[in-house]
Structure 1
Amino acid sequence: MPPASREKTRPSVFWPLAAIAAPLIALLFKLEIHGAEKLPREGAYVLAPNHYSEADPLAVALAVWKAGRAPRFMAKESLFRVPVLGSVLRATGMVPVARASSAASARQTLETSETLVRLGRGVIVYPEGTLTREPDLWPMRGKTGAVRLALADDIPVIPMAHWGVQQVMPRYGKLKLWPLRRRVRVLFGDPVDLTAYQAEGPPVNLAGATDKVMADIADLLAQLRGEPAPAERWNPADHGQKETGRLEP
Structure 2
Amino acid sequence: MSEIVYPPVIKTALALFKALNIRFRLEGTEHVPAAGGAVLVSNHVSYLDFIFAGLAVHPAGRLTRFMAKKEVFDNRISGPLMRGMHHIPVDRDAGAASYKAALTALKGGEIVGVFAEATISRSFTVKEIKSGAVRMAVAADVPLLPIAIWGPQRMWTKGRKRRLLQRNVPVTILIGEPMYPKRGDDYAQVTADLQARMGELLEKAQREYPEEPTGDDRWWQPAYLGGTAPTPEEAAELDRKESEERAARRAARADAERREGDAA
TM bucket normalised to smaller: 0.7 to 0.9
1:183-217 deviation digits (Å, cap 9, x = unpaired): 1111101112424xx224xxxx4433322211110
Asked if structure 2 preserves the Cα contact closer than 8 Å seen for 1:29 and 1:59, the reply is no
Q: 1:123 maps to which residue?
A: 112
- C-alpha displacement of 1:131: 0.8
Describe how 1:178-197 pairs up with structure 2 within 5 A. Answer: 180-195=167-182
Q: Structure 1 CA distance, aligned partners of 2:167 and 2:101?
A: 42
Asked if structure 1 preserves the Cα contact closer than 8 Å seen for 2:122 and 2:158, the reply is no
**1:88–1:162 distance in 2 versus 1, CA, 3 Å:** closer
**1:28–1:49 distance in 2 versus 1, CA, 3 Å:** farther
- Normalised TM-score (structure 1): 0.74
Q: Structure 2 CA distance, aligned partners of 1:215 and 1:12?
A: 37
- Which of 65, 71, 74 is equivalent to 2:67? 74
- Does residue 12 of structure 2 align to residue 20 of structure 1? yes
SS in 1 for 2:56: helix
Name the stretch that deviates more: 213-222 or 106-115. Answer: 106-115
- C-alpha displacement of 1:239: 4.1
Letter in 2 for 1:132: S
- C-alpha displacement of 1:238: 6.7
SS in 1 for 2:174: strand
Asked if structure 1 preserves the Cα contact closer than 8 Å seen for 2:88 and 2:101, the reply is no
- C-alpha displacement of 1:108: 4.2
**1:90–1:127 distance in 2 versus 1, CA, 3 Å:** same
Q: 2:191 maps to which residue?
A: 210
SS in 1 for 2:106: helix
Letter in 1 for 2:104: E
- The number of residue pairs the alignment matches comes to 222
Q: 1:169 maps to which residue?
A: 156
Amino-acid identity (%): 31
Q: 1:140 maps to which residue?
A: 127
- C-alpha displacement of 1:168: 2.9
Q: Structure 2 CA distance, aligned partners of 1:86 and 1:170?
A: 20
1:135-174 deviation digits (Å, cap 9, x = unpaired): xx11111122322221221121100012222333354212
- Does residue 133 of structure 2 align to residue 152 of structure 1? no
Q: Structure 2 CA distance, aligned partners of 1:12 and 1:23?
A: 18
Asked if structure 2 preserves the Cα contact closer than 8 Å seen for 1:28 and 1:168, the reply is no
Asked if structure 2 preserves the Cα contact closer than 8 Å seen for 1:44 and 1:121, the reply is yes
Q: Structure 2 CA distance, aligned partners of 1:62 and 1:157?
A: 17
- Which of 9, 19, 36 is equivalent to 1:43? 36
Q: Structure 2 CA distance, aligned partners of 1:115 and 1:72?
A: 8
Superposition RMSD on alpha carbons, in Å? 3.2
Letter in 2 for 1:128: E
- Normalised TM-score (structure 2): 0.71
Q: Structure 1 CA distance, aligned partners of 2:121 and 2:31?
A: 25
Asked if structure 1 preserves the Cα contact closer than 8 Å seen for 2:121 and 2:235, the reply is no
Q: Structure 1 CA distance, aligned partners of 2:155 and 2:12?
A: 20
Q: 1:3 maps to which residue?
A: none
1:65-89 deviation digits (Å, cap 9, x = unpaired): 3442213211223444445644432
Asked if structure 2 preserves the Cα contact closer than 8 Å seen for 1:25 and 1:59, the reply is no
Asked if structure 2 preserves the Cα contact closer than 8 Å seen for 1:74 and 1:125, the reply is yes
- Which of 219, 223, 227 is equivalent to 2:200? 219
Asked if structure 2 preserves the Cα contact closer than 8 Å seen for 1:25 and 1:62, the reply is no
The gaps in structure 1 that reach 5 residues or longer are 1-6
Q: Structure 1 CA distance, aligned partners of 2:139 and 2:58?
A: 26
Q: Structure 1 CA distance, aligned partners of 2:236 and 2:61?
A: 40
Q: Structure 1 CA distance, aligned partners of 2:76 and 2:150?
A: 34
The gaps in structure 2 that reach 5 residues or longer are 209-223, 225-230, 247-264
**1:117–1:235 distance in 2 versus 1, CA, 3 Å:** farther
SS in 1 for 2:126: coil
